[in-house]
Amino acid sequence: MVHVPRPLEECSLKIGIVTQSYYPKPGGVTEVVHHTANGLRRLGHEVIIITTRYNGREKDDPGIYRIGRNMLVPVNGALVNVTIGFGLRKKLQHIFHREDFDIIQTHCPLVPTLPLLTLKAARKNQKVVGTFHATAQSNIAYHLFKRPLEARATRLNRRIAVSASAHQFAHKYFPSRYDIVPNGIDCDRFHPDVAPIEELTDGRLNILYVGRMDARKGVTYLLRALPLAQKRLRQKIRLILVGEGKLRGFLIRRPVILHGAEIIAVGRIEPHLLPRYYTSADIFCSPATGQESFGIVLLEAMASGIPIVASEIPGYRTVVTSGKEGFLVPPRDPERFAAAIAELGNEPALRRTFGTQGREKALMYNWPIIVGLLERLFYETLGREVDNRTQEPVYESTE
């Protein structure tokens, strides 16, 4: 029998993406949602994002519903987004009924409020896919409310984890089959040829940190490693801190000199500047103490051709192979961080080798590839057979 491909319009889906993290709020999940939605649209699908309001001044963008208002809640040493407001479930039901999605993807599906309410608000004929991002040693809320959350989780038609670490954490409390589909990276935006920040190209060895300055991100350990590294290096170093958070209040915008090492805390920057900060760096450092399920900032650095020194935690081992794209060292160990920084700092050839190998690995995570894997899973969830328009998926299914 000759197989005749169906027209593209017959294969296209109407997809709703529910997330409590989205622009103008920066963050890993925000970037995942943005690139997933754009990638699926390029494949011919209609995608609508359902999220919350942050400052109340967001424009009514096409393809986005905003309901309720965001509130930051401290969880696991970080501030997480939670949507508050009256009638959230009814508003979700109205959206789901009006748009009649083929499939709904909800990020962090067992977290209050919008993701969890989605499992109640979705129509019976709508397939629901949950993407699990978090990782930790334990979760008090999951432990205390395991039974009702497990009952809610049965509404999920498919479960996706962004890494082996995220899978292990979710499976610990809610055993089931999970498909591992990693986060992606825009390898055109983050590229070694992006022009650096001119004033940072003055001969100092630039060490870059990007992320929130929360306790679990380990910035204090990096600050303690800095003078130790400076003693071993042949040139003066500069630490560039990009991001906001509690520890930001202890730092100032003008440069600080610590044992010969310069520290600049630039705070939040415009998105178009971020790739330029990466290419201004000689080494990228991420000293997180744990609870990182993946590490998008590592991919951004690798795509930019920058070698890495990061904590050896499960989520980071997913992305970086120590001794190939950079060095992974024990968390909370300023001495080991300093030694790794010094080794890379004193060996330009090694930095170039790690940077080249990092770029090669990052290309495997380019968004068109990752979105293609997600599209295939959506079709499988709906029981549809279509011609594969992207490369053969290589995601992993786990029980």
List all residues 6 or more positions away from 270 whose beta carbon is below 8 Å from its beta carbon: none
Q: Is the peptide bond before 118 cis (omega within 30 degrees of 0)?
A: no
| 3-state secondary structure (DSSP) of residue 141 | helix
Q: Mean pLDDT throughout 57-68? A: 88
CATH class assigned to 198-364: alpha beta
The predicted pLDDT at position 395 comes to 53
Task: Give dist(CA 114, CA 20) in Å, integer.
Answer: 7
User: In which band, very low, low, confident or very high, does the pLDDT at 125 lie, cut at 50, 70 and 90?
Assistant: very high
Opening angle at CA 338, ends 334 and 340, nearest 5:
120
Least confident of 24-33, 53-62, 181-190, 292-301: 53-62
Task: Give dist(CA 136, CA 237) in Å, integer.
Answer: 33
List all residues 6 or more positions away from 336 whose beta carbon is below 8 Å from its beta carbon: 329, 330
Task: Give residue for tokens 């968004």.
Answer: 367
> Quick check: 215 pLDDT over 90?
no
Maximum distance among all Cα pairs of the chain, rounded to whole angstroms: 75
| Fold (CATH) for 8-184+366-398 | Rossmann fold (3.40.50)
Quick check: do 8-184+366-398 and 198-364 share a fold?
yes
- pTM for this one? 0.87
Tokens of 319: 């992305």
Task: Give dist(CA 9, CA 19) in Å, integer.
Answer: 27
Over residues 277-319, the pLDDT tens digits come to: 999 999 999 999 987 888 899 999 999 999 999 999 988 998 9
- Domain residue ranges of the chain, discontinuous segments joined by +: 8-184+366-398, 198-364
Tokens of 1: 């029998």
Strand 103-107 and strand 127-132: the pairing is parallel
